Amino acid sequence: PKSKAAAAKKAALKGVHGKSVRKVRTSAHFHLPKTLRLSRKPKYARKSVPHLPRMDQYRVVRNPLNTETAMKKIEEHNTLTFIVDVKANKHQIKDAVKRLYDVEALKVNTLIRPDGKKKAYVRLTADVDALDVANKVKRILVIYIDTN
Amino acid sequence: MVAVKAYELRNKNKAELLKILDEQKQELASLRVQKVAGGSASKLHQIGLARKNIARTLTVINQTQREQLRLFYQKKKYIPLDLRVKKTRAMRRALTPFEKKLKTQKQQKKENHFPLRKYAVKA
């Protein structure tokens, strides 16, 4: 009895044939409707542990060059030359030199040698002397030899 | 140069291991500089030792890390893909032993009613 009354009420209010309202279209084109986009909630990490940084400063810079032209560059142009990993880019080289030797680089120029290795000319800022840094590197060597 | 021993490294915690790793890498870097500057033969020999030391430290770091992770994930339902059994792709997709031994009821009845008989010949 109650359900009958409710149905009758609904029929009276809404009419027996329910009318579906048509959406007002203000544009002549149909564009993709915006749907719900959920963010990821993975049930498990795909890789158990993220890898240690692969291109750390020790990998980027291999060794400094001490050829005659390299020496000339140190004295005249305040630049250090390094052999560098082939996959390193200039930003990485600049960062690596900063971490290893505590010096700021003004600019880095790179080239790939015919033997497949990458050479980087690292121009240091004017307040640092390339000759000092080069000697400091040798001094670091001496300290390591002593601890052994 | 001292060769680090793996069993000594295993007692250390992660921060110490990373520090040791960093030191080893610095040694290797300095040795490489010496190589360019014309180092003695003994110094050049150290390069190989330094590389292996780095390898040993990394091995210990990774091994202990993965071991701990396996313990952590032991009771869980989903584990990371690199901790799962590797075997081969086909073997991973094969039926499990339980699934293989499932039988239909019809077959079970047959086996119960008509088991394999064993006969013996009287001597």
- Could you report the per-residue pLDDT of B18-43, keeping only the tens digit for each? 999 999 999 999 999 988 887 788 88
Residue A121 dihedral angles phi and psi, to the nearest 5°: -95, 115
Quickly state the pLDDT bin for A18 (edges 50, 70, 90). Answer: low
- Asked if A144's CB is within 8 angstroms of B30's CB, the reply is yes
In chain B, the residue whose alpha carbon lies closest to the alpha carbon of A43 is B78
B-proximal residues of A, 48-67, CB under 8 Å: 48-49, 56, 58, 61-66
- Asked if A44's CB is within 8 angstroms of B82's CB, the reply is no
| Run of H or E including B39 | none
Question: pTM for the whole thing?
Answer: 0.76
Task: With CA atoms as reference, report the closest residue to A80 among A91, A66, A99, A95.
Answer: A66
- Asked if A49's CB is within 8 angstroms of B69's CB, the reply is yes
Query: What is the interface size between A and B, counted as CB pairs within 8 Å?
Result: 52
For residues B116 and A145, give the distance between their C-alpha atoms in angstroms, rounded to a whole number: 80
Sorted by sequence, the CB contacts under 8 Å of residue B28 that are 6+ apart come out as: A58, B47, B50, B51, B54
- Asked if B27's CB is within 8 angstroms of A48's CB, the reply is no
CB A122 within 8 Å of CB A148: no
**CB-CB neighbors (< 8 A) of A53 in chain B:** none
Task: With CA atoms as reference, report the closest residue to A58 among B11, B1, B4, B57.
Answer: B57
Of B34, B37, B80, the CB nearest to A48: B80
pLDDT computed for residue A142 by the predictor: 45
Task: With CA atoms as reference, report the closest residue to B26 among A71, A21, A140, A110.
Answer: A140
Q: How many CB atoms lie within 10 A of CB B117?
A: 5
Q: A interface mutation test: which of B30, B59, B70, B79 has the most A CBs within 10 A?
A: B30
For residues A92 and A84, give the distance between their C-alpha atoms in angstroms, rounded to a whole number: 10
At position B74, the amino acid (one-letter code) is Q
Side-by-side strand order, sheet with A79-84: A61-64, A79-84, A118-124, A105-112
> Which residue ranges in chain B fall short of pLDDT 50?
none
